[in-house]
Chains A and B, each alone.
Chain A
Amino acid sequence: MSRQMKRIVLPFTAIVGQQRLKQALVLNAINPGLLGVLIRGEKGTGKSTAVRSLADLLPEIDVVRCPFNCSPNNPSLQCQTCNERYMRGEELSALRRKIKVVELPLGATEDRVTGTLDIEKALREGIKALEPGILAEANQGILYIDEVNLLDDHLVDVLLDSAAMGINTIEREGISVSHPSKFILVGTMNPEEGEIRPQLLDRFGLSVDIKGMKDAEERIEVIDVVEEFERDPETFSRRYEKDQEDLRHRILEARELLNDVEISRALKQTIVEICLEFEVHGHRADFLIARTAKTIAAYNQRKKVIREDVKQAAELVLPHRLRRMPFEEPKPVTEKVEQILQQRKEISKS
């Protein structure tokens, strides 16, 4: 029931500029514990292109032929049925494929998102079965939500809840089920079109503010790339194969290394100071910065986190967590963070 059209996607490594965005996406691919990326920007800045390119870049995965896209060998990513069979020692037939980007349509209703009563089954066999929804489809993939600030609040709630827990729990229309739902979450919004609930904002791990590029040279490069790609996608892509392979490799290695990365107490202290200085709500920012910094270190094939990692991490974690009035100019994160880092350097020296 699922036709995969062979479509060549612009190679991730061919995307012009947008360094922060690419970094945020790659970091999430290495460590989904970074809780996704919120991309804030105007229309037409290559947001969805980047996400699709990412999916294409990432290594292929093994997926059970199951509506919940279970993993054949990781019990925490298995629905009850698959898990029972796995525990019994059965071999779960799987296929290998690229990860999927599941896009949430703007008019999505809750039943399509969480899954709902399978009407056909109910009418024909009189049994209550779940018709899997988008959260089942997105398991082990990327969930892309365009214009997340225009989505119904309770839908965003459900999505973010599942993203955080890695599980989707359904209690509706006579059904009571839960199934694994682990995905990389990417949301976009245009800040001029309205705010998103602060509670929901906080649940996105990282955020990136992007604008159309101002640099004339970069803009020309974009035109060039698009033209060349459209003219002959296959040849164009082949040119970037080595770069893609390198990046893929780097991501895989980073994933391996991640658990061994250490962050010093002094740097943790710095992170805490940063968060207190910026008066963030709650504690999420603290451990997210630590986690992101570790991921950055892993990506750079280091086992130790350095100051620069913390700085970059703060720049990704803080922007959407700053306490400010709407329409106020955003506080310059970079400068302030650098300041604090500098101060701590002095202190540790003395």
Chain B
Amino acid sequence: MSHRMKRIDLPFTAIVGQQRLKQALVLNAINPGLLGVLIRGEKGTGKSTAVRSLADLLPEIDVVRCPFNCSPNNPSLQCETCNERYMRGEELPVSKRKMKVVELPLGATEDRVTGTLDIEKALREGIKALEPGILAEANQGILYIDEVNLLDDHLVDILLDSAAMGVNIIEREGISVSHPSRFILVGTMNPEEGEIRPQLLDRFGLSLDIKGMKDAKERIEVIDVVEEFEKDPETFSRRYEKDQEDLRHRILEARELLHDVEISESLKKAIVDICCKFGVRGHRADFLIARTAKTIAAYEQRKNVTAEDVKQAAELVLPHRLTRMPFEEQRPVTEKVEQILQQGMTLATETEKNEQDEDEEPTGFDDHGGEDSNVQEDRLKSARKLIDFGERKKKTEMKFRKDKKYRMGSGRRTRTLTTHAGKYVKAKIPEGKVTDIAIDATIRAAVGRKYKLSIDKEDLREKVRAKKIASVIIFVVDCSGSMGDLRMMNTTKRAVMSLLMDSYQKRDKVGFIAVWGYRAEVLLPPTTSVELAVKHLKDLPTGGLTPLSDGLFKGLQLLRTELWKCRGIIPIIVLVSDGKGNVPIRTDVGKELICIADEIKRMEINLVVIDTLPELHWLSQSGYPGFNKEIVKASGGEYYRLDELDSQDVVDVVRALGRLETIELR
């Protein structure tokens, strides 16, 4: 059952500016071997528009009249049926049609992505047939995912598998089918809204960052184009028909020429040198740069690759493959590459880094897969090692301290997950009582078994909902004059970054509130984005008074909102301070703090107090000068002292609070 509405897209050639973006997309249209492109940019920069507009420019390909869009002459891109017929020497019914852009919509469920049992066929004809899904539609085409960094983990896994193997294997509801699924992956994302999983990042051949344009003239042009297009899409599109046709033609010519493009040995060596100098792992970057450079040459209707081609290629291939340390701005790729190219071909060549034999087939989806799909993971590991985490205290010491905690109540809190929150992603066979029935899967199970609609207990399936955020951790940090301690700041910052770097795995959100001046300041609203954290926490304020109760209160408020959004999260506040609050929200800091701490306890929020006051300091005084003890008592939280912890310990403490077994929300 498929109805599609027609939508007129803005002509590609009408897009103002954004040359690199257009180049990256056109290059992929010429040579699918470039393995797609990831477009990162702030909102409103035309990312999605450009991708959707690309469809009109795509060349025609030969496709078997088969639900899986098989290739008529490439056996590796044929389903079983087509392949059998091909092997028998049969001529397959072929039609010529444009390469498609298939969009993966936000609410897609797994069955629509992989394909599933065709219920109607089963009921009417009594046969088990596959109803092809999006992965079948996208075969030999482009799979477009908007906001790819927000894609549900389940679906990401499915995509990664298919992308790696070029095959989609379906084992469900009594069917067992596999079909070819080779597609170019194009994704867009806003980096401020969270990171993308490294394995997925690695799948993209090219990547680029785009921003809004600063040039006034170009901006005015954008207004003009949008206005005119909205007023009358058809007439507007017709004006660009010639330009579109020219570009289409150029793409076709480039595809023809691609076979004959040559790249000199010296440039190959330069490429290897570049990858070496940038510390890029594995070989994929090497051959991708070469391939991309060739494609650029072909587009420019040249048979030989120039240094400029290599430079542009490197700018597209490298950015998402660099070792990036937190607190470091994205290294300017261009300058360094230019440098290397100018120096001419140099050293390079450990025996490992020898040239690959690139496949120049424009339609080849050959993948040098299997290597370093965990490139990004390794990179982050080494990045972590490079960050100075300070001296690690012995674990036993810390355990000892833990026992001396001043706290009441249980340390670890679990949350009961009672609501049907979260996106329905797929179905599973229930264990125990079923509360969240997946009707569609249940019906399919019943029909698949009996070829008629009668549902028995065995057919019942229940919904698996998307894993939501695991923990939301708000750091409330005392930055006031009395606490301008550099070590404290650094430890805290590092802990925040460390938690965030894991966040794409655990989907934790981290926020940061600075306690200083007259009112506490939310420097970082809860986010999963490392970039955002770097941006906002780069220079922490210091000085002023200590509005401690306001800080704790704001932390409470932030968590309240997050809890409204998703009741299944684990809310955590990490309070780093000497407890010497001196600016109240209304009149009495101490009272306010206890009040807020009570509320924290009532809402079952986890509180960790890290006391920055050195023990020696207050032992000499008459009693403890700050409010930390009272806070801990009222909230039932945990208490540690900063001079016993390094940032990794802080992370461990937080993780201990968040440690729940795999949550599958019901």
A-side residues, CB < 8 A to B, are: 33, 79-81, 109-111, 114, 117, 119, 122-123, 126-130, 149-154, 157-158, 161, 165, 167, 169-180, 192-195, 197-199, 202-203, 259, 265, 268-269, 271-273, 275-276, 280-287, 290-291, 325-327
Contact = CB atoms under 8 A, between A and B. Distances in A.
Contact of A122 (B150, B193, B439, B557): B439
A175 B107 contact: no
A174 B440 contact: yes
B219 interface: yes
B223 A268 contact: yes
Contact of A269 (B220, B557, B564): B220
Most B-side CB within 10 Å, residue of A151, A172, A174, A197: A174
What are the nearest 6 A-B pairs in CB distance? A282-B44, A194-B561, A284-B44, A80-B3, A173-B440, A272-B219
Interface stretch (B68-76, B418-426, B497-505): B418-426
Contact of B116 (A151, A174, A202, A326): A174
Nearest to A174: B440
Contact of A287 (B227, B525, B554): B227
B227 A283 contact: no
Given A154-B423, A174-B131, A286-B219, 18 more contacts: A109-B420, A150-B564, A157-B106, A158-B106, A167-B7, A169-B105, A170-B107, A172-B107, A173-B112, A174-B111, A175-B1, A175-B112, A177-B2, A198-B190, A281-B212, A283-B46, A283-B219, A326-B525
A202 B230 CA distance: 19
B212 A33 contact: no
B105 A173 contact: no
Contacts of B45: 282-283
A171 B119 contact: no
B5 A110 contact: no
A152 B371 CA distance: 38
A80 B105 CA distance: 19
Contacts of A128: 1, 119-120
Contact of B105 (A153, A171, A271, A283): A171
A261 to B, nearest CB: 10
B523 A325 contact: yes
Contacts of A154: 106-107, 150, 423, 466
B42 interface: yes
Contacts of B124: 126
B77 to A, nearest CB: 23
B82 interface: no
A291 B2 CA distance: 35
B222 A281 contact: no
B450 interface: no
Interface in B554-570: 554, 557-558, 560-562, 564-566
A269 B560 CA distance: 44
B545 to A, nearest CB: 17
A150 B3 contact: no
Contacts of B157: none
A326 B43 contact: no
Given A110-B107, A198-B193, A281-B44, A180 B453 contact: no
Nearest to A200: B43
A179 B565 contact: no
B192 A287 contact: no
Interface string B40-57: 011111100000000000
Given A194-B561, A327-B521, A177 B212 contact: no
Contacts of B557: 192, 194
B6 to A, nearest CB: 9
Contacts of A158: 106-107
A175 B561 CA distance: 34
B231 interface: yes
A175 B193 CA distance: 30
Interface string B203-222: 00000000011101001101
Contact of B44 (A153, A285, A291): A285
A283 B219 CA distance: 7
Contacts of B522: 325-327
Nearest to B554: A327
Nearest to A122: B443
B147 interface: yes
B561 A172 contact: no
B603 interface: no
B108 interface: yes
Given A122-B443, A128-B119, A178 B5 contact: yes
15 contacts: A122-B119, A122-B443, A126-B124, A126-B447, A152-B566, A154-B107, A154-B150, A169-B103, A192-B557, A194-B557, A198-B43, A198-B190, A276-B214, A282-B44, A291-B230
B220 A272 contact: yes
A273 B216 contact: yes
A275 B119 contact: no
B433 interface: no
Given A80-B3, A128-B120, A281-B212, A123 B453 contact: yes
Contact of B216 (A130, A149, A269): A269
Nearest to B211: A282
B193 A197 contact: yes
Interface in B63-107: 103, 105-107
Contacts of B363: none
A33 B230 contact: yes
A172 B112 contact: yes
A171 B135 CA distance: 13
B43 A123 contact: no
Contacts of B106: 154, 157-158, 161
Contacts of B213: 283
B55 to A, nearest CB: 15
A5 B107 CA distance: 34
A176 B525 contact: no
Contacts of B150: 153-154, 157
Contacts of A285: 44
B302 to A, nearest CB: 34
A15 to B, nearest CB: 30
A80 B3 CA distance: 6
B536 interface: yes
Nearest to A117: B440
A325 to B, nearest CB: 7
Nearest to A161: B106
Given A171-B107, A282-B44, A157 B220 contact: no
Contact of A259 (B44, B231, B424): B231
A197 B42 CA distance: 12
Contact of A172 (B5, B108, B131): B108
Nearest to B110: A172
A126 B451 CA distance: 11
Contacts of A127: 1, 120
A169 B223 CA distance: 28
A272 B120 contact: no
Nearest to B214: A276
B312 interface: no
